[in-house]
Chains A and B, each alone.
Chain A
Amino acid sequence: AQTVTQSQPEMSVQEAETVTLSCTYDTSENNYYLFWYKQPPSRQMILVIRQEAYKQQNATENRFSVNFQKAAKSFSLKISDSQLGDTAMYFCAFMKLRYGQNFVFGPGTRLSVLP
């Protein structure tokens, strides 16, 4: 079974600064996807970024980028130029690609962006 760990329950960052959220996972699978989802106070789940395990290049979406270390099973999210609207819960998620739909989420990191 897969597990996803987020070791930082809460974090804060000053507006315009950079922050990194950590995520580690455990799996015996070789092909899988990793995701970061954002959940603002509205509770809506919003995809931030995704990474295919077979790709060595780290994914980037505007101010959001990941540091994917497959051998270490690490998948951290870096948010540059933090904005007040980035305040939210952030969930790391793992999805295997073999038969089935085993989607596993981490416990989340609550990020507060301070003015």
Chain B
Amino acid sequence: EAQVTQNPRYLITVTGKKLTVTCSQNMNHEYMSWYRQDPGLGLRQIYYSMNVEVTDKGDVPEGYKVSRKEKRNFPLILESPSPNQTSLYFCASNIPGDEQFFGPGTRLTVL
């Protein structure tokens, strides 16, 4: 089954404790992206990657890091999480110029 998976689905952590949210896709898509969803703001792009070792900032990259060492994986790293990063996070993948396929989302709470 073609899918995008994210782990964990739910995470509660404390300020300053480094965390990683994993994302994996099995569709051999070149493009992958990370979004955060906040009420009234829709989805905002954090980072995206156009292929292995090629990443670029989206609209809200501050406080986040990403890496793309393999085509199928695109982890999101919060090195020092803060409460304003409490949000719902989505990973997505696509082939260039086509619709994005989304993961199930990760609900992150930073205390």
A113 to chain B, nearest CB (A): 21
Tell me whether A35 and B99 are in contact (CB under 8 A). yes
Q: Assess whether B82 is interfacial by the CB under 8 Å rule.
A: no
Number of interface residues of B (CB under 8 A): 24
Asked, given contacts A35-B99, A97-B97, A101-B33, whether A91 binds B42 with beta carbons under 8 Å apart, the answer is: yes
Alpha-carbon gap, A105 to B33, bound state (A): 13
Residue numbers in B under 8 Å from A43 (CB-CB): 88, 104-105
B21 to chain A, nearest CB (A): 15
Q: Assess whether A47 is interfacial by the CB under 8 Å rule.
A: yes
Tell me whether A45 and B90 are in contact (CB under 8 A). yes
Residue numbers in B under 8 Å from A97 (CB-CB): 97
Could you list 28 examples of A-B contacts with CB < 8 Å?
A6-B42, A9-B40, A33-B97, A35-B99, A43-B104, A45-B43, A45-B90, A45-B92, A45-B100, A45-B102, A47-B100, A50-B99, A97-B97, A100-B48, A101-B31, A101-B48, A101-B50, A101-B56, A102-B45, A103-B33, A103-B45, A103-B100, A104-B45, A104-B59, A105-B42, A106-B42, A107-B41, A108-B42
A residues contacting B by CB (< 8 A) are 4, 6, 9, 33, 35, 43-45, 47, 50, 91, 93, 95, 97, 100-108
B residues contacting A by CB (< 8 A) are 31, 33, 35, 40-45, 48, 50, 56, 58-59, 88, 90, 92, 96-97, 99-100, 102, 104-105
